[in-house]
Structure formats: C-alpha cells, structure tokens
C-alpha cells in the first residue's frame, strides 16, 4: 500500500487512521511542551514556545492537506475510519476508550494527591497535562492495538 497513493477506499481509510494516530502524538507533544514550559526558565521556555508553534504549523501544513486529499479523492464521507467496520476503525474506537479510561484513572489518582500536587499546580497546567496524557495514551494504544495479529496485536 502506498501511503499517499492508495488504490482503494479501504487503503485510504487506513491511511486516514494512521494520520490520526500520528497527528494525535504530535498534538500530545505540543501539550506536553506547554506543561514543561511553565516550569522551564528563560531560554528553555522560549525554545519550547517556538517548538509548540512549529508543531502547530506542522499539524496544519502536513496533516490537514493529507486528510483533505485522501477524503476528496475517495469520496468524502465514505472514507471515515471512525464509523467503518474495518480493522483500523475498531482500533481507533478501542484506543479512544483506552485513553478515556486512562484519563479517568489518572484523575482519580490526582484527587488522592490533593495536598501534595494539586495545591501547587495551576488549573491551566493541570488541564494541559491531562490533555497531553490523553493524547499520548490514545496514540500509543492506537499503534500497539494496530499491530497485525501475527505481531501480537490485541484486536480480533
């Protein structure tokens, strides 16, 4: 399968799913850099701010045109990895559920650390950290669940 030149709707759907996982990982890095920037000093904070800007531009300049190209070439709504019954559609749904459960578990753990952690962190930083965590868990679980069954993948 050629990533930029899929020959069928199924291959285009798989390409969109892979782009979703990669774009989610990049967005997670951007949010993680936001959290680290709060605690970094001087030159490092400036560098992290520039890295966030570059990551945002990369998402807009690379991923959006590829999404548009694949969607328009293969018929718009017919290529939708979230709604399909194909392999990557199932992987996307399971990865999203895994990320949701991990964030809920993380929030429960954070409530037990109220006096140790939450009283020392601003709400904005905490939310950015939770978003970064959710995006990382989604991306990692997407690629772990998306391995072929011969590689030990968990999707049936």
Residue 152 — pLDDT band, cuts 50, 70, 90? very low
Considering the entire predicted model, what is its pTM? 0.78
Which backbone phi and psi does 86 adopt, to 5 degrees? -80, 180
* Domain ranges within the chain, ordered by starting residue: 9-151
Q: What is the pLDDT of residues 85-113, one digit of tens each?
A: 667 778 888 899 999 999 999 999 888 88
pLDDT digits (tens, 9 = 90+) for 59-74: 888 777 777 777 777 6
């Amino acid at each position: 399968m050629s990533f930029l030149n899929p020959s069928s709707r199924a291959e285009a759907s798989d390409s969109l799913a892979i782009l979703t996982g990669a774009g989610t990982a990049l967005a997670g890095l951007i949010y993680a850099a936001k959290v680290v920037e709060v605690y970094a000093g001087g030159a490092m904070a400036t560098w992290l701010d520039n890295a966030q800007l570059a990551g945002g531009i990369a998402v807009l300049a690379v991923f959006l045109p590829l999404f548009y190209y694949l969607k328009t070439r293969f018929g718009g709504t017919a290529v939708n990895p979230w709604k399909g019954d194909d392999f990557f559609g199932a992987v996307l749904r399971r990865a999203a559920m895994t990320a949701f459960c991990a964030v809920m578990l993380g929030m429960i753990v954070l409530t037990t650390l109220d006096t140790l952690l939450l009283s020392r962190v601003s709400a904005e930083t905490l939310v950015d950290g939770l978003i970064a965590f959710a995006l990382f868990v989604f991306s990692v679980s997407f690629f772990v669940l998306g391995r072929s069954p011969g590689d030990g993948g968990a999707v049936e």
